Structure 1
Amino acid sequence: MYDLWRPDTVALGDALRDLLAIRGLPVEQIWPHDDLKAHWQRSDVLLSQTCGYPLVTQLTHVQTVGCFHYLAPGCEGFCYCSWLVVREDDHHKTLADFRAHRAVCNAEDSQSGYHALRKMVAQLPNAESFFAALHISGSHRQSLIDVAQNRADIAAIDCVTWALLKRHTPSVLQGLAVIGQSPLTPGLPLITAQQTSAATLESIRDALRQLVSDAHYQDVCATSLIGGFSEVSRQDYAVLL
């Protein structure tokens, strides 16, 4: 889900493939680009990453594996937040000042881009029809471009995405400012198919624990801003409903 710099994603995938193969779990690395929901629900998915909101609202027949701890500002343990991003000229404003302005989000089933913002707006007085318009951009990166180019005025952006863009393509963030953050929520869950056995699930978790603790994989994890791993359950994500 954080494939913002393909060489780092490939290196992470290669490391995971090696660790799984050691445990007798040979895998093929697949790059799903179209129907993510269909990919997540495939019966042969050994390990994938989804968003927390689809997990609790759509993906009823998958198992949770765990969640990475990311090293980006705005993360604590396996939790993360969204930054409220506006143009630099509006850096002094708060969310309440964007009533009747235009919002943009990456997708309506995105926890970080849509539902984090929706819940923050709901806490404001007279929150009904708060924004004059809201459009769907298709990605956090495009949401940032839309704000910078005055096609929207505010967006909620996953803090890990922001950190990776700042590292690899900082020009995307030029002219933008962060004016606030959403409450912490559980980060993007790692999942496996419902058909995955309990023994295989434990082997996957063991591979992930080695990934984040073995010095051999320190650089691979660091480039993807991964600093740890926790087992999580579906119940941990009930707070997103």
Structure 2
Amino acid sequence: MIACTRMYDVTPTVAGLWRELITRISAQAGHPLEVVDYPAPAPLDELWNRADLGAVFMCGWPFRKRSPGPQIVAAPVPVDRDCSGPSYCTDMVVDAASPYHRLEDTFGGRIAWTDAGSQSGFNAPRRMLLKFSRDGAPLYRESLGPLVTPRASLRSVLEGKADIAPLDSYFHALLRRHEPETAQRLRIVARTEPTPIPLLIASREIDPKIVEALGRAFENAAADPVLRPLLEDLCLSGFARIPDPERYGITEEWDREALAAGYPVPS
């Protein structure tokens, strides 16, 4: 079985922290996982289709769309005053040197987005913008996407290709801790409502007893003094079990609202 943290491998240091954490937790569960690299732009759908997934990050929106869906192992709980439990937001960021201080200041400019299947990089910012749009009319003169990754999204702002872009708030927290020189060049002008965070999933083919053991081990990580420093470096208070997949239904609700309003992309 494999593990993959591609979605939150913000820097090589962060990727190493994930590797150590998952190696230790899976060993404690009695089911060691092989942590594999799967760098962008390799398509995540191909990774998620594998039959040997033991703990792989998956965005909640594609998780919700799959039927039957993969098995839930656990979800991270970020240290974030605006979110409680296994939740996250989208930070709408601009260049800190720009004149923009409110979301509305960027209207008429250029917006970037990551992928049409992303909750944080597409669906959530689209819903936030929908309340400003009249009859689905664009708010920006140019909509740039798909850029695929949060890193590419923030780069579009820093390189002057876009005036504003969405950034997964947990990715942003890791960036502030491990690459502050880049984070300091960004300013948040708006933040979406919190939604359920991407979760660690296992393939349907994996024995549910193994998934249960892995889930318990992740849930117990916060109580382990050996693992606590790793969690702190990963900006986490721990992991939570997700007993009800229906909590991810909000992703589809937001999609339906936007499409019904004639606002198909953040624009």
TM-score by length of 1: 0.90
> Residues 153 and 11 (structure 1 numbering): CA distance in 2 closer, same or farther, change over 3 Å?
closer
One of 101, 104, 112 as aligned partner of 1:92: 101
Q: Are 1:54 and 2:62 an aligned pair?
A: yes
Q: Does structure 2 conserve the Cα–Cα contact (< 8 Å) formed by 1:82 and 1:112?
A: yes
SS across alignment from 2:8? coil
One of 19, 27, 37 as aligned partner of 1:13: 19
What is the match of residue 191 of structure 2? 181
TM-fit CA distance, 1:91: 3.5
Q: Are 1:135 and 2:141 an aligned pair?
A: no
TM-fit CA distance, 1:178: 1.0
Q: Are 1:38 and 2:34 an aligned pair?
A: no
**Gaps in structure 1 of 5+ consecutive residues:** none
CA deviations over 1:216-238 (Å, ceiling 9, x no partner)? 11111111111122211321100
SS across alignment from 1:183? coil
Q: Does structure 2 conserve the Cα–Cα contact (< 8 Å) formed by 1:144 and 1:172?
A: no
Letter of the 1:37 counterpart: D
SS across alignment from 1:166? helix
Letter of the 1:151 counterpart: K
What is the match of residue 28 of structure 1? 34
One of 94, 107, 110 as aligned partner of 2:115: 107
Letter of the 1:43 counterpart: A
Q: Distance in 1 between matches of 2:43 and 2:91?
A: 27
CA deviations over 1:7-64 (Å, ceiling 9, x no partner)? 3332332332233234331322211221321111211111111111221124744112
TM-fit CA distance, 1:70: 0.7
Q: Are 1:195 and 2:205 an aligned pair?
A: yes
SS across alignment from 1:117? helix
SS across alignment from 1:236? helix
Letter of the 2:137 counterpart: E
CA deviations over 1:101-145 (Å, ceiling 9, x no partner)? 210122221111111110011112414222222112232222222
What is the match of residue 260 of structure 2? none
> Residues 59 and 114 (structure 1 numbering): CA distance in 2 closer, same or farther, change over 3 Å?
farther
> Residues 23 and 67 (structure 1 numbering): CA distance in 2 closer, same or farther, change over 3 Å?
closer
**Gaps in structure 2 of 5+ consecutive residues:** 1-6, 253-267
Q: Does structure 1 conserve the Cα–Cα contact (< 8 Å) formed by 2:133 and 2:139?
A: no
Q: Are 1:218 and 2:228 an aligned pair?
A: yes
Q: Are 1:78 and 2:73 an aligned pair?
A: no
- Could you say what the CA RMSD is over the residues aligned between the two structures, in angstroms? 2.0
Q: Distance in 1 between matches of 2:185 and 2:51?
A: 44
> Residues 59 and 97 (structure 1 numbering): CA distance in 2 closer, same or farther, change over 3 Å?
farther
CA deviations over 1:72-101 (Å, ceiling 9, x no partner)? 4543211111111123333433x3343332
CA deviations over 1:153-185 (Å, ceiling 9, x no partner)? 111111111122122222323443111100010
Q: Are 1:119 and 2:127 an aligned pair?
A: yes
Letter of the 1:188 counterpart: P
Q: Does structure 1 conserve the Cα–Cα contact (< 8 Å) formed by 2:218 and 2:240?
A: no
Q: Distance in 1 between matches of 2:251 and 2:108?
A: 26
The percent of aligned pairs where both chains have the same amino acid is 25
What is the match of residue 245 of structure 2? 234
- How many residues were matched structurally? 240
Letter of the 2:25 counterpart: L
> Residues 170 and 195 (structure 1 numbering): CA distance in 2 closer, same or farther, change over 3 Å?
same
